[in-house]
C-alpha cells in the first residue's frame, strides 16, 4: 500500500500528539504522581509510535517506542522522576525534528545518541494513594477489569482515508490493551482495504470508559460502541450522538482557494447591484438583493473557517519559558489569557515567531531573579490586541538614547529632542541592543525590528511602555482578518487607490490659507499645529498638477508623527476583499495587495509609511 498520500495527515496528527505530550510533561513536572497524566502520556507516545510505524518512519517509531517503554515503568510506580521528564522532553524535541525532516522531504536525522543513552531508573518510591476520582472510577461497574471488551468504531462518511484511519485506530487499541481479534485485519488495512467500520475484541484488563474516551477523541470517528463480554456486567454506556463533534482536515491551499472564490463572488455581487439599480423590474432588484445577502453570508462563514484560536501559537510558550528559566537560573511564572480569541490563520502564522521573540526577551533581559510574564489577548471590535507584559527591570529611556547615540543611530541633537516614549521606540531599529554581553538566548531589542515590521505588514501597530524597576509592556494591535479590509478610496492622477482605514486618522479638505511653507517643505495648519504636507502623487512618482481650491487630505501617522497626504479626490470608504500580490510584484514595497470593485476597476491597496520608506525622494507638496 502506498502510504505517501497520507503523509500530510500523519504530520498534522503527529504534531497534535507532540503538543499534547509537551503539555503533559510540563504538568507532570509539577505533579509527578498524576496517574491520569502518566497514562495519557503513555498513550500519546504509543499513538506516535503506531502512526510512524504504519507510515514506515522507523526512526520516529524507535524514539517513540523508547519513550513508551520508559513511561510503562512509571505507570507501575505511579511517579515520574525529574530526570525522566528531561529525557522525555529531549525525546519530544527529537521527534519534532524528525517531523520537520519528513515535512521537508529530507533524510531523517540520526537518533542513535538518544536511543543509546542510559534511561533514568524507574522511581522506587511507592505510588501515592489513589485520588478520589480514581477511587470513584474503580467503584463504577464500567471499570471492571475482569472481562474482555467488544469495540465497534464507525468512521465519518466524509473520512478521506478510511483504511489508513482504521489502521491508526487499531494501533491506538493495541496501546490500550491486547487485541484478540480485529475485522478488517491489520494486514487487510495495510493493503488498503477500505472500511468505514472497525470491529475489535480486547482481552480482559482494560476499562471500557478509557477505550471509548480515547477513540472518540480521534479525528474522523463518528461513533464508538463498547460492550463488555462478561454476562453479568452491564454494557458500557453509549456516548450520545450529539456529544460527538467530528471534524474534517482541510488543506490550507484548498481553503485559500475557497476564500478567493467567495471574494470573486463579492466582486460579482457589487457588479450586479450596480446594474440592478438601473432596472425598472422590482423582481430583478429583489433577486439581486437576495443573492447579495446569500453571498455575504457564505463569505462570512468561509472566513470563519480560516479563524483559529490564539492557543495554536501559544502552546509552545510554557516549554520555552521553562527551558529559558533553567538556562538563566531564573524562576519565571508564565500566565496566558485570551487563548480562545480567534484570528485569521495568516495573521497567526505571521505572529508566531514575533511572539516567541517578545517572550524570550522578557525572560532573558526583563526578569531578574524571579518574576512573572503575562501574555494577554483580547478583541476590540474588528481589531485584536496582543500584549506581553513582564514585571522585571524595565527599560531606561536615558540608557536607550545613549546606546543609540553610541551606535550612530541618532545624532546628539536628535537624542536630546526625543521624549522618553519616543526613546523606547529606538529598540525597534535594526541591530539595536542595550545588552552589555551577547546572550545565548536573546538581547533586549534584538528582533524587535522584526516584531514591528511583522505587525505593520498586517496593517497593525506596535507600541512599547516601560518603567525602570517595574517592568515592560509590548502591545500589538492588528485586524482580526487580512482577507476583508475596510479601505479609504482615493484618486491620484486618474488612478483609484485604497488605504486601510487602520492607517487613517481622519480625512478633511484644507483651504488654501491653511497651507504654509515650513522649512524646506509645506505644512498645513491643523488644531493650532503645523502638520507636514506630502504629495501622494510625488510619492508614487506620478506627474504633479497645480492645486485649485481646497485640498483633499488624508491624515495619517508616519514614524510617530502626524502627516497630511494630498490626493486628487476622496472617493469614500468601502469594505473590500484583498488579494495578495504574486511574485515578483509582492516585492514592491508599500503595496500590500489588490482588489476589484463592482465596476471592474482594479484598486491597489497601499501603505503610506512603507511607500515613503522605499522611496527616499522629495515628496513635499
Q: Is residue 211 part of a domain?
A: yes
3-state secondary structure of 566: strand
Q: Is the pLDDT of residue 386 over 90?
A: yes
The per-residue pLDDT of the chain, averaged, comes to 80
Q: Is residue 21 part of a domain?
A: yes
Q: Is the pLDDT of residue 47 over 90?
A: no
Residues 478 and 491 grouped into a single domain:
no
Q: Which helix (H) or strand (E) holds 533?
A: strand 529-535
Annotate 89-111 with b (16+ C-beta within 10 A) or e (fewer). Answer: bebbebbbebbeebeeeeeeeeb
User: What is the domain-level CATH number for residue 608?
Assistant: 2.40.50.180
Q: Is the pLDDT of residue 334 over 90?
A: yes
Q: Any idea which of 116-120, 175-179, 326-330 has the lowest mean pLDDT?
A: 116-120
Residues 451 and 302 grouped into a single domain:
yes
Residues 465 and 548 grouped into a single domain:
no
By the 10 Å C-beta count (0-12 exposed, 13-18 middle, 19+ buried), 347 is classed as buried
Q: Is the pLDDT of residue 490 over 90?
A: yes
pLDDT of residue 440: 47
Do you find a cis peptide bond into 220, omega within 30 degrees of 0? no
Q: Is the pLDDT of residue 29 over 50?
A: yes
Residues 542 and 578 grouped into a single domain:
yes
Counting the structural domains of the chain, the total is: 4
pLDDT of residue 127: 40
Higher pLDDT, 617 or 408: 408
Sheet containing strand 383-390, strands side by side: 331-337, 370-380, 383-390, 471-479, 461-467
Q: Is the pTM of this model over 0.75?
A: no
Q: Is the pLDDT of residue 95 over 90?
A: yes
- φ/ψ of 217, rounded to 5, equals -85, -5
Q: Is residue 140 part of a domain?
A: no
3-state secondary structure 188-248: HHHCCCCCCEEEEEECCCCCHHHHHHHHHCCCCEEEEEEEECCCCCCCCCCCCHHHCCCCC
User: What is the domain-level CATH number for residue 66?
Assistant: 1.20.120.160
Residues 323 and 208 grouped into a single domain:
no
Q: Whole-angstrom Cα distance, residue 386 to residue 476?
A: 5
Do residues 567 and 552 make contact, with C-beta atoms less than 8 angstroms apart?
yes
Do residues 444 and 538 make contact, with C-beta atoms less than 8 angstroms apart?
no
Dihedral over alpha carbons 435, 436, 439, 442 (to 10 degrees): 10
Q: Is residue 310 part of a domain?
A: yes
Residues 499 and 569 grouped into a single domain:
yes
Q: Is residue 441 part of a domain?
A: no
User: What is the domain-level CATH number for residue 169?
Assistant: 3.30.70.1110
Higher pLDDT, 243 or 573: 573
Structure confidence by residue, pLDDT tens digits, 397-440: 999 999 888 888 888 888 888 888 888 888 888 767 655 444 54
Residues 515 and 471 grouped into a single domain:
no
3-state secondary structure of 550: coil
Residues 105 and 87 grouped into a single domain:
yes
Residues 408 and 522 grouped into a single domain:
no
Q: Whole-angstrom Cα distance, residue 386 to residue 378?
A: 7
Q: Is residue 122 part of a domain?
A: no
C-alpha cell at position 556 = 495619517
Residues 77 and 160 grouped into a single domain:
no
Residues 283 and 359 grouped into a single domain:
yes
Bridge partners of 515?
524
C-alpha cell at position 111 = 537518533
Domain that holds residue 354: 252-434+446-482
C-alpha cell at position 296 = 455575504
Q: Is the pLDDT of residue 60 over 70?
A: yes
Q: Is residue 234 part of a domain?
A: no
Q: Whole-angstrom Cα distance, residue 235 to residue 391?
A: 55
pLDDT of residue 16: 87
Q: Is residue 546 part of a domain?
A: yes
| Residues in Cβ contact with 585 at an 8 Å cutoff, skipping those fewer than 6 apart | 591
Amino acid at each position: 500500500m502506498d502510504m505517501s498520500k497520507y503523509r500530510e495527515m500523519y504530520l498534522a496528527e503527529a504534531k497534535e500528539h507532540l503538543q499534547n505530550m509537551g503539555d503533559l510533561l510540563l504538568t507532570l513536572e509539577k505533579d509527578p504522581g498524576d496517574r491520569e497524566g502518566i497514562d495519557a502520556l503513555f498513550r500519546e507516545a504509543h499513538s506516535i509510535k503506531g502512526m510512524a510505524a504504519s507510515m514506515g518512519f522507523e526512526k520516529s517509531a524507535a524514539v517513540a517506542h523508547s519513550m513508551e517503554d520508559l513511561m510503562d515503568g512509571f505507570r507501575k510506580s505511579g511517579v515520574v522522576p525529574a530526570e525522566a521528564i528531561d529525557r522525555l522532553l529531549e525525546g519530544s524535541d527529537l521527534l519534532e525534528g524528525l517531523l520537520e525532516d519528513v515535512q521537508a522531504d529530507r533524510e531523517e536525522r540520526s537518533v542513535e545518541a538518544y536511543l543509546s543513552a542510559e534511561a533514568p531508573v524507574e522511581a522506587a518510591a511507592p505510588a501515592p494513594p489513589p485520588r478520589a476520582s480514581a477511587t470513584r472510577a474503580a467503584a463504577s461497574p464500567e471499570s471492571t477489569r475482569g472481562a474482555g471488551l467488544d469495540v465497534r468504531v464507525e468512521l465519518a462518511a466524509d473520512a478521506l482515508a478510511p483504511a489508513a484511519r482504521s489502521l491508526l485506530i487499531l494501533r491506538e487499541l493495541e496501546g490500550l490493551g491486547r487485541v484478540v481479534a480485529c475485522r478488517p485485519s491489520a494486514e487487510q488495512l495495510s493493503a488498503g482495504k477500505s472500511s468505514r467500520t472497525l470491529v475489535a475484541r480486547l482481552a480482559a484488563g482494560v476499562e471500557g470508559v478509557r477505550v471509548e474516551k480515547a477513540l472518540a477523541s480521534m479525528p474522523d470517528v463518528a461513533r464508538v460502541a463498547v460492550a463488555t463480554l462478561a454476562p453479568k456486567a452491564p454494557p458500557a454506556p453509549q456516548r450520545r450522538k450529539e456529544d460527538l463533534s467530528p471534524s474534517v482536515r482541510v488543506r490550507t491551499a484548498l481553503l485559500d482557494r475557497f476564500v478567493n472564490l467567495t471574494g470573486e463572488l463579492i466582486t460579482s455581487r457589487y457588479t450586479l447591484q450596480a446594474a440592478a439599480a438601473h432596472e425598472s423590474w422590482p423582481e430583478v432588484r429583489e433577486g439581486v438583493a437576495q443573492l447579495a445577502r446569500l453571498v455575504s453570508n457564505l463569505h462570512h462563514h468561509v472566513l470563519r473557517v480560516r479563524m483559529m484560536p490564539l492557543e495554536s501559537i501559544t502552546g509552545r510558550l510554557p516549554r520555552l519559558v521553562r527551558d529559558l528559566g533553567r538556562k538563566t537560573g531564573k524562576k519565571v511564572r508564565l500566565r496566558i489569557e485570551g487563548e480562545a480569541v480567534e484570528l485569521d490563520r495568516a495573521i497567526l502564522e505571521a505572529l508566531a515567531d514575533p511572539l516567541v521573540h517578545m517572550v524570550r526577551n522578557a525572560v532573558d533581559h526583563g526578569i531578574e531573579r524571579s518574576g512573572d510574564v503575562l501574555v494577554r489577548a483580547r478583541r476590540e471590535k474588528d481589531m485584536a490586541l496582543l500584549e506581553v507584559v513582564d514585571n522585571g527591570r524595565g527599560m531606561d529611556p536615558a540608557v536607550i538614547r545613549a546606546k543609540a547615540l553610541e551606535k550612530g543611530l541618532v545624532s546628539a541633537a536628535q537624542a536630546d529632542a526625543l521624549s522618553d516614549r519616543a526613546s523606547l521606540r529606538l529598540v525597534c531599529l535594526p541591530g539595536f541592543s542595550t545588552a552589555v554581553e551577547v546572550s545565548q538566548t536573546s538581547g533586549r531589542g534584538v528582533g524587535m525590528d522584526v516584531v514591528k515590521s511583522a505587525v505593520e505588514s498586517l496593517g497593525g501597530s506596535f507600541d512599547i511602555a516601560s518603567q525602570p524597576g517595574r517592568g515592560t509592556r509590548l502591545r500589538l494591535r492588528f485586524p482580526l482578518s487580512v482577507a476583508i479590509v475596510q479601505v479609504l478610496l482615493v484618486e491620484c492622477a486618474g488612478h483609484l487607490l485604497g488605504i486601510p482605514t487602520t492607517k487613517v486618522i481622519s480625512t478633511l479638505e484644507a483651504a488654501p490659507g491653511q497651507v504654509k511653507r515650513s522649512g524646506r517643505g509645506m505644512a498645513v495648519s491643523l488644531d493650532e499645529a503645523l502638520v507636514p504636507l506630502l504629495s501622494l502623487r510625488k510619492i508614487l512618482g506620478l506627474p504633479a498638477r497645480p492645486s485649485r481650491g481646497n485640498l483633499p487630505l488624508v491624515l495619517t501617522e508616519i514614524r510617530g508623527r502626524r502627516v497630511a497626504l494630498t490626493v486628487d479626490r476622496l472617493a469614500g470608504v468601502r469594505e473590500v476583499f484583498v488579494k495578495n500580490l504574486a511574485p515578483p510584484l509582492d516585492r514592491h514595497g508599500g503595496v500590500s495587495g489588490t482588489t476589484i470593485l463592482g465596476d471592474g476597476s482594479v484598486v491597489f491597496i497601499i501603505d503610506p509609511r512603507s511607500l515613503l520608506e522605499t522611496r527616499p525622494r522629495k515628496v513635499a507638496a
